[in-house]
Amino acid sequence: MENKIPLIIIYIILTGLFISSLLYLIFIKEDTSKNPLILEEESDKSNYFKNLSYIDYPDKAFCKCGDDILLDYCNEDLLKSGCQNFYESKKLQNFNNDECEVIQNKIMIHNTKLINIFNLETSAINSSIFSLLTFNIVIFVLILLIYPLYVLFSCPCIKSDDCCCCLCGCAFKLCNMFCANSIVFCLFFVILILLIVDIVTFSSGCKYYKNDDTNKFLDFLQCSNVNKEGFQKFCAIEDLSSHFNVLIILQSIFIVSIFASGVYMIIDQIHRLNNGSIKKEDDDL
């Protein structure tokens, strides 16, 4: 029983990490089920900022499409077709290039939607998280299978020319080059492959999250003139940030724990096999 205590501790730790990471994967999957910025309505802009009195609205705004010049700013369709806004205002040419002010001007002067300012990779993140969720579940199910087998086959082995006899309460023979441990080693190999795929998927999700504008949007909310209550309908972006940061820690520990438990069991099994061989040699003498 004493030899099984480390294994029981490892099993409890892995179970706790799996359940915790599973919850946060579900949270993130819900956070990224759709791009929150699609919820924006034109009327929302009136609540985005605390003070608009100092904004230098242009005296005149024009939309230039090739040689044609239209009065007023370009709508989204015209901007997509290559048209450009330009203004008659000397003050606008001297704007401070502060990021907060630049984004505010895009929203209030250029009438740009948030979804066209902040690029959120919600779809790609959601896809990666779904794959990671699947791989985590499959790996954990295999771990549930491998632990009972490990306990069953972790017994003194006496090698013979054709097979080995393992004693675990009762005697039985399993003729295989790895003896009874062959099943355990095969499952380890499958788990190792799945774990490598799991790591790649996890890294891919982290890359999408790091390269999108989630943090840029959250930094914008900290601007002094921003009214955070006006962005309340996009709170899923803040939830995504907090959930993802926790997941990175939990998933990393989960992966390391699986490797550590695998190394422990393999070393322990090799040690037992060696002891079995030594015991057989002593008995022969």
pLDDT at 30 over 70: yes
Query: Which strand ranges, in their side-by-side order, compose the sheet holding 68-71?
Result: 68-71, 60-65, 84-88
**Whole-number pLDDT of residue 28:** 95
45-98 pLDDT, tens digit per residue, is 888 988 765 555 555 566 778 777 666 667 777 777 778 766 554 443 333 447
Residue 205 has a pLDDT of: 93
Whether the pLDDT of residue 36 is over 80: the answer is yes
Question: What are the CA-CA distances from residue 75 to residues 72, 102, 115, 212 (Å)?
Answer: 9, 19, 15, 25
Kindly tell me if the per-residue pLDDT of 38 is higher than 60: yes
Task: Give pTM, 2 decimals.
Answer: 0.68
pLDDT in the model for residue 183: 62
Highest average pLDDT, of 41-45, 54-58, 240-244, comes from 240-244
In tens, the pLDDT along 195-227 reads 999 999 999 999 999 999 999 999 999 888 889
Assign 4 a pLDDT band (cuts: 50, 70, 90): low
Mean predicted confidence (pLDDT) in 1-22: 78
Confidence of residue 241 (pLDDT cuts 50, 70, 90): very high
The pLDDT of residue 14? 86
pLDDT of amino acid 247: 94
Confidence of residue 149 (pLDDT cuts 50, 70, 90): low
Alpha-carbon distance of 229 to 224, in angstroms, equals 13
Mean pLDDT of the 124-145 span: 91
Mean pLDDT to the nearest integer, 109-118: 88
Instruction: Give the chain's mean pLDDT.
Output: 76
Strands (E), the chain: 60-65, 68-71, 84-88, 157-159, 164-167, 171-174
pLDDT single digits (tens) 155-193: 544 444 444 444 443 334 444 434 445 666 677 788 888
What pLDDT is stored for residue 244 in this prediction? 95
Q: What is the mean pLDDT of residues 142-150?
A: 73
Question: In sequence order, what are the residues at sequence separation of 6 or more whose Cβ sits closer than 8 angstroms to the Cβ of residue 33?
Answer: 122, 126
- Average pLDDT, integer, range 21-42: 92
Q: What are phi and psi of 119, to 5 degrees?
A: -90, 105
How confident is the model at residue 61, as a pLDDT?
Answer: 63
Percent residues over pLDDT 90 in the chain:
32
Query: Is residue 142 predicted with pLDDT exceeding 60?
Result: yes
Higher pLDDT, residue 170 or 129: 129
Distances (CA, A) of 51 to 58, 99, 134, 210, 227: 17, 17, 48, 32, 9
Q: Is the pLDDT of residue 114 over 90?
A: yes
